[in-house]
Structure 1
């Protein structure tokens, strides 16, 4: 009993020491991420936000604008919707996500009913992510790029280039063209939406994924610490993603700020191995804008030629099959002798006897 009494204080001291050490280690390792800091900052700015005096409200209601955009949307052949498109329900869910709510306290959960209605398939090995390269992404699509971006999805189509906000004392939802500063609404509710949409998009990717990054930005490095790509897409990429190929694009005549050998790209690789899978294949390619777009055009041209030759091959095969059937069944009834080579469906001639 005496020995147990002596051990008691020692055990308590050891436990307290272990707890203390663990607390010190946890505090030293834990650090508020740049994403969290950015989110808090725009939320604080939201509380003090007032729209510019020249801000113009749209005549069409937010509900009607969402429904209009929804009705004009056609999904890509390889990205079908999982549910029948009901634009009335989609517009209602989007409106209800922000209507009669303080725009500074919108949460990801507010947008979840909308996300359930716009769910759709995302093809394997055909996705292009992008960060700080919106103009280049649009040029890529116009040049005939075959990879699908988030803008090909219904959820992004109905919100593209817009910003919006509700008001706790009103059911009206204001909206206008997207601007990071001096827009008709504070940035916060729109930022929350894009993080939700980006998270969904990332979670449903499979196979090989590509990303366009800006190596000539005057504002930040290629793998920007507060971008939607870094804050929402990379941490939520599916475990089914096996490879990520990054293009770091620079503009000719502009100082190159970042490249594949830069610290931010090395951090991207570390994050991929941390969040996605340790064995993910990561490759990176530095390229100037003109070369990149020319490669896209050349690839699209070669693909078109390949499709054309495949069609010609199919047509020739059909002609050959029809010719073989014709001469098989009707040759006995022909007065001339038909000399026909199946290997050369059109290389036949008649010999009159």
Structure 2
């Protein structure tokens, strides 16, 4: 019996020591993981990084593919041979798994090259602060095209997207606004698409502006001012027609003789492009009247 008791005690001690060693090994492994994997910790934190803008649109892939197929099959059948799967692949490769404040033009260049296009002369219509009105007009009058009526504009209009360096690759919670960092996926995309749209313009082009904005209808810092107007080719564009629209029931803050319009005229004329301006271009104003037909401005005899 004494022999059995001694053996039992030794066995119990072995199991205790074995348990202690296993516990120590586990604790050491946990400590090493915490110390040696800072990159994973940062990536995990980036998933929760909060920006001020709306996060990536849910089902972004399905939306862009659907819009692409609709565009090449019904909106512009002349582009029927366009590879929409390739366009989506280049689109996602441009921003996924990347810092959303470190985007460059090189990221989108393959997509821009694949989606290059030509626009018939006299059909280009640019705009600023007239989003709803200008697109109601192009839907009613097919003689003009905005950027959003091209393939690049059509597939991305109204959407939000940005990458995340984490394994997920996409940030669905929030994306940076231009005021947080200018080199974000959306801003770079729209600046490049706007530049292409301006470079493709020829003949007479139209610009629809909002004369009810107190700060002025035209801003040099806007995409219209900093990208589109400066990239019109004077050898192809000989005239710009400005349509300065006012809200029917809203303030009339600026007219064609206003300060910001004068700046736009001077900018264009210095590049050998002639300019004309019309307050409340009547065909567009009549479209405004569909929402307020009894207003005195909408009278046929006015």
Tell me the TM-score normalised to structure 2 length.
0.69
C-alpha deviation, 1:59, in angstroms:
4.9
C-alpha deviation, 1:167, in angstroms:
1.1
Distance in structure 2 (CA, Å) of the matches to 1:118 and 1:161: 19
Aligned counterpart, 1:50: 50
Instruction: Choose from 233, 239, 247 the match for 1:243.
Output: 239
Change beyond 3 A, Cα 1:200–1:171: farther
Distance in structure 2 (CA, Å) of the matches to 1:64 and 1:256: 42
Instruction: Choose from 208, 214, 224 the match for 1:212.
Output: 208
Instruction: Choose from 179, 182, 203 the match for 2:199.
Output: 203
Counterpart secondary structure, 1:147 = coil
C-alpha deviation, 1:148, in angstroms:
1.1
Aligned counterpart, 2:157: 160
Change beyond 3 A, Cα 1:108–1:243: same
Distance in structure 1 (CA, Å) of the matches to 2:92 and 2:69: 16
Counterpart secondary structure, 1:69 = helix
RMSD of Structure 2 on Structure 1 (CA): 2.9
Give the total of aligned pairs. 235
Aligned 1:260-339 pairs, distance under 5 A:
260-274=256-270, 277-278=271-272, 280-287=273-280, 292-294=284-286
Change beyond 3 A, Cα 1:291–1:67: closer
Instruction: Choose from 250, 256, 263 the match for 2:252.
Output: 256
C-alpha deviation, 1:294, in angstroms:
2.1
Range that drifts further, 87-96 or 138-147: 138-147
Counterpart secondary structure, 1:129 = strand
Change beyond 3 A, Cα 1:272–1:52: closer
Distance in structure 2 (CA, Å) of the matches to 1:140 and 1:211: 13
C-alpha deviation, 1:170, in angstroms:
3.4
Aligned counterpart, 2:11: none
Aligned counterpart, 1:193: 189
Query: Structure 1 stretches of 5 or more lacking a match?
Result: 1-47, 176-182, 298-353
Please say if 1:66 is aligned against 2:58.
Answer: no
Aligned counterpart, 2:229: 234
Higher strand share: 1
Contact between 1:98 and 1:110, CA under 8 Å: does it hold in 2? Answer: yes
Tell me the TM-score normalised to structure 1 length.
0.60
Contact between 2:52 and 2:175, CA under 8 Å: does it hold in 1? Answer: no
Greater relative CO, 1 or 2 (CA 8 Å, sep 6+): 2
Counterpart secondary structure, 1:271 = helix
The CA deviation string for residues 209-248 of structure 1, in whole angstroms up to 9 with x for no partner, is: 0010000024x31112321101110111122111100001
Counterpart secondary structure, 1:162 = coil
